[in-house]
Structure 1
């Protein structure tokens, strides 16, 4: 009888890209970064990556850094919304949707509560 191989979970491409986006957010000092896996509860997207920004210039820097780096790495975003206001910026990569909130908007919309049925992973800076 052949031995059974132990199968270890292999992260999907979307999951790896969500992790990469969270790293890019950390590089621009974003706060309270979370990855929400919503694959089992919606067909809209696979993951949300959310963070809080302390200022409009920081929101712009995070958005630009994520967009430019992901595009350079071969994963251009499909659409960006809210860039002109910078209170809540949404960057749509289709399988991943990025949300960059001001502190006020993050508290007001309670985004994690809306998607609480998803699997929420807090991203920590390893420094």
Structure 2
């Protein structure tokens, strides 16, 4: 079992703040707790407008979560081509997509039983 310092609520709030700060697009919070056999409790999904933007969003999330919630991702995937970066914080998994990649994989539909909350941006 991995030691978790930050609560899921703190982690989610910090991640959402980081995404908003760097102008992530179309942010969704998926609550997976009511679904059997899920890999985590929450998905946070957002889009960037280019691979540079996707990388920037990922970097800002890691920086803010490290500083404010004192957590590092357990696993990071996709930073090379930055079409889809996955940040795994054990109970919260963040997906940062380029728009066309997000549309192709359509994670929101795959997890259609999840409680989905659209996050309004403050930009």
| Structure-1-length-normalised TM-score | 0.85
Moved over 2 A (4+): none
Higher relative contact order (CA 8 A, sep 6+): 2
Which residue of 2 is the match for residue 70 of structure 1? Answer: 65
The residue correspondences of 1:1-127 to structure 2 (distance < 5 A) are 13-41=7-35, 42-73=37-68, 74-126=70-122
- 2-structure distance, mates of 1:34, 1:78: 21
Indicate the SS of the match to 2:103.
Answer: helix
Gap regions ≥5 residues in structure 1: 1-11
Query: What displacement does 1:22 show?
Result: 1.4
Indicate the SS of the match to 1:98.
Answer: strand
- 1-structure distance, mates of 2:102, 2:38: 24
Number of equivalent positions: 116
| Structure-2-length-normalised TM-score | 0.88
- 2-structure distance, mates of 1:63, 1:126: 18
